[in-house]
Amino acid sequence: MSREIFDLWVGAIRSDEPVCLVSVIEGQGLGAKMLVRPGIAPVGTLGHAELDRVVERDALAELEVGRSGVRSYGAQGQQRENDLTVFVESQAPPPRMLIFGAVDFTAALASAAKLLGYRVVVADARPVFATRKRFPMADELRVSWPDDVFDEFGDELGPRDAVAVLTHDNKFDVPAVVRALETRVGYIGVMGSRKTHDGRTERLREAGVDDRGLARLRSPIGIDIGGRTPEETAVSICAEIIALRSGRKISALTDTEGPIHER
């Protein structure tokens, strides 16, 4: 590994910046390395310009989902050939979860999300509720309206990140959902009964949200495990996020009918 690549690799990791190190581990160019970062030209080469281009594209795709892995290519980047094998080592910052609403469910979800490695931001416009005493587990606490939060974080959200809207206040939850839909965030969950969701859907349509946007919402939020307490609901939400991220089939509340709680 060249000194330049080593210094950039270590510097990116220390700065919590997304970066990939691609190494040829078998075949032509054994030992060659290339450093890949979003929006910046790669450093190093694997031996051919077209190979570099294809591998950079694939490495950025792996980085976006926070995944490392092995891939094989032809000498000029051809797919389904095995002239060389590379290992793509991704170093991505922790995924972020934005939780809107300073309620009891928020404390439980924030704690569960921290166990899964999320950097948690809790936001509520009411200073009497959005306090460090109530949410000591949150990495960041914002006494702000959704627009302010998304102005700060929206451009950074990607497929690994999550937004959970746990309020029942139209002044807060509708703007939060609208702004979340403007991002590339991978999960948007919204708390509420089916009746609440139906009413919210009408207001979202009035705000300009189309069918494609509505289809991104997970509401009622979570999977169908019969959870009632804040802690059980947090497990349900996190399980839904994990299942969707891994492509597993689940019994999600948004896909079922009837009351979400048995009477």
CATH number at residue 236: 3.40.50.720
User: Burial level of 122, CB count in 10 A (0-12/13-18/19+)?
Assistant: buried
What range defines the domain where residue 122 resides?
Answer: 96-255
> In which band, very low, low, confident or very high, does the pLDDT at 34 lie, cut at 50, 70 and 90?
very high
261 is a domain residue: no
Strand residue runs (E) in the chain: 19-27, 33-37, 40-44, 69-73, 84-91, 96-100, 119-123, 140-142, 162-165, 187-190, 217-218
59 is a domain residue: yes
Residue closest to 158 by CA, chosen among 129, 119, 107, 197: 119
Could you tell me if 56 and 75 lie in one domain?
A: yes
Flag whether pLDDT at 260 surpasses 50.
no
111-157 pLDDT, tens digit per residue, is 999 999 899 999 999 999 999 999 999 999 999 999 999 999 999 89
**Rounded to the nearest 10 degrees, how much is the dihedral formed by the CA atoms of 61, 215, 116, 10?**
20
Could you tell me if 136 and 21 lie in one domain?
A: no
Domain stop point among 43, 66, 91: 91
Could you tell me if 47 and 119 lie in one domain?
A: no
Could you tell me if 154 and 199 lie in one domain?
A: yes
Could you tell me if 107 and 84 lie in one domain?
A: no
- 222 near 189, Cβ under 8 Å? yes
Mean pLDDT of the chain: 89
> In which band, very low, low, confident or very high, does the pLDDT at 174 lie, cut at 50, 70 and 90?
very high
Could you tell me if 129 and 157 lie in one domain?
A: yes
Could you tell me if 145 and 30 lie in one domain?
A: no
